Amino acid sequence: MSKILTFFLTVSLLVVFFAAPVSAKKKKILVFSKTAGFHHSSIKVGVAAIQKLGLINKFEVDTTIDAKKFTPKNLKQYAAVVFLNTTGDVLNDEQQTAFEKYIKNGGGYVGVHAATDTEFDWPWYGKLAGAWFVNHPKVQVATLNVVNRNTISTKHLPENWIKKDEWYNFKDINKDIKVLITIDESSYQGGKNAPQHPMSWYHDFDGGRSFVTALGHVEESYSDPLFLQHLLGGIQYAMGIKKME
């Protein structure tokens, strides 16, 4: 009996050993959309669109506007956290510390549109996001230049992407970001970051991964297949389940 018991114990241990890496891979994200400033009407459709992306691409999506979810224990379950049109001061000091630790432990960050209009008194966040919002002209059509089409977030896009959105001007642009998309300031009125005006970028930062798209103000974006694939690629990179390029 002891030999039989030993055999089954050995088999069980082997099953656990080989299954562990698969089960340990976190395939869940948190979409955070708390606002302490302007509240975008597109948040609701944005949340629904990301939930649908998760359903199709087999990752779970939790959503919240509750900053109390930013604890070391809770964040640990997520492969990435999406700041979806957050604005203003949305996390207290303790929550900021928890998020910094999460990124330093290999977590992922996705910033959508107004995520750069968030936490101006938190220098670390500004470096993670890669830039801070300054202002914007009226919503209008402009031409985007996809300067890197070799990534999972941009390979499906046309080289010149004509789109309607709210085009942010930025300050404190992190020199280490890898720019994916720029905007042609001659194609619209109100641009102030020439000659290189970034609209989407990514970078490895402080142990984790960061992807930002400044698109996503208008509700129509969240039913636009080109934008959704662009956003999905960024999420998958931030989750660590796919390489950007």
Quickly state the pLDDT bin for 26 (edges 50, 70, 90): confident
Domain-wise residue ranges, the chain: 28-239
Q: CA 19 → CA 24, 25, 58, 214, distances in Å?
A: 8, 11, 18, 39
Length of the chain: 245
Residue 10 clears pLDDT 60, i.e. is over it: no
Quickly state the pLDDT bin for 1 (edges 50, 70, 90): very low
Residue 7 clears pLDDT 50, i.e. is over it: no
Cis bond upstream, residue 195 (ω within 30): yes
pLDDT tens for each residue of 42-51: 999 999 999 9
State the pTM of this model: 0.90
Q: CA nearest 110: which of 205, 225, 223? A: 205
Write down the pLDDT at residue 25. 57
The DSSP secondary-structure symbol of 65 reads -
Can you tell me the mean pLDDT for 11-17?
A: 36
Tally Cβ neighbours within 10 Å of residue 171: 14
pLDDT tens for each residue of 91-147: 999 999 999 999 999 999 999 999 999 999 999 999 999 999 999 999 999 999 999
Can you tell me the mean pLDDT for 163-174?
A: 98
CB 214 within 8 A of CB 167: yes
Write down the pLDDT at residue 104. 98
Q: Which CATH number fits domain 28-239: 3.40.50.880, 3.40.50.720, 3.40.50.280, 3.20.20.70?
A: 3.40.50.880
> How many whole angstroms separate alpha carbon 167 and alpha carbon 170?
10
114-134 in b/e form (b: 16+ CB < 10 A) is bbbbbbeebeebbbbbbbbbe
Write down the pLDDT at residue 18. 37
- Comparing 19-28, 56-65, 107-116, 147-156, the range with the smallest average pLDDT is 19-28
